Amino acid sequence: MPEALIARGRPLVSATPRPIVITIDGPAGTGKSSVARALARRLGLDFLDTGAMYRAAAAVVIEKGLPLADPRAIVAAVVAANIHFDWSDDPPSIIANGRRLGSRIREPDVTAIVSPVSAIPELRTHMVSRQREIARQHPRLVTEGRDQGSVVFPDAAVKLYLDADPTVRALRRAEQLRAAGSSVPLDQLLREMVERDRADAAKPTGAMVRPADAELVDTTSLTFEQVVDRLEDLVRARVERV
């Protein structure tokens, strides 16, 4: 069916009764998080922000004063913190050690250490099993991260991979920061972004890769609405086709 003929904005109907997991991976600054959230809403699916889980782990590391050089202590503290979402909130709140973390997970000190924390292999194993557990409880799911299509849900119904020109990604991040009241020079943002991409792609486990069976969407010259439309069309064409 030509994608343009697919009606948008109604709950997704599957041609089979199986669970529907849609994975969205890709680097920072592609608009991935907000696009994934909007897509889930349009399709009537739940949304899982796996970056929030790694950010919550980083917040636990800071709260407990643990050194990055002690991965065993970090893994023990993160497992004990029982990081999970309260799905009765909209959007779901992330909770660690029984407390809602809210905007804490977006603060600069958390952002500064989340990449090395998320590179600890045993911590990833723990998070991956939590993510699969969430998918069992929420079998109609859009899940967003770096390894969702490659490692966590290799059998996902639809795999999407968003990318964009690094300069455009840095500009988008600058705009987000400006809206939040802070300003960082563009060349610094670009340098940090390229370095984070390099670190994310070089992780021993869960490295950021584009799965061979993922649909690549380059968002460089697309508006937010155009990206969501494109993803919605791709998903409907794959899932609703009989």
Name the residues that contact ligand DC, by CB under 6 A.
Answer: 28, 50-51, 54-55, 114-115, 118, 145-148, 200, 206
CB of 117 to ligand DC, least distance (A): 8
Nearer to ligand DC, 15 or 201 (CB): 201
Query: Considering only CA atoms, which of 200, 30, 48 is closest in space to residue 115?
Result: 200
User: CA 176, CA 102: separation in Å to the nearest integer?
Assistant: 18
Q: Are strands 140-145 and 20-25 parallel, antiparallel or unpaired?
A: parallel
Nearer to ligand DC, 77 or 236 (CB): 77
CB of 50 to ligand DC, least distance (A): 4
Structure tokens, 65: 């004063």
CB of 22 to ligand DC, least distance (A): 14
Nearer to ligand DC, 25 or 236 (CB): 25
In 10 A of CB 15, how many CB atoms?
10
Nearer to ligand DC, 107 or 240 (CB): 107
Contact residues for 168 (Cβ-Cβ < 8 A; gap 6+): 29, 220
Query: Considering only CA atoms, which of 241, 242, 239 is closest in space to residue 19?
Result: 239
CB of 240 to ligand DC, least distance (A): 27
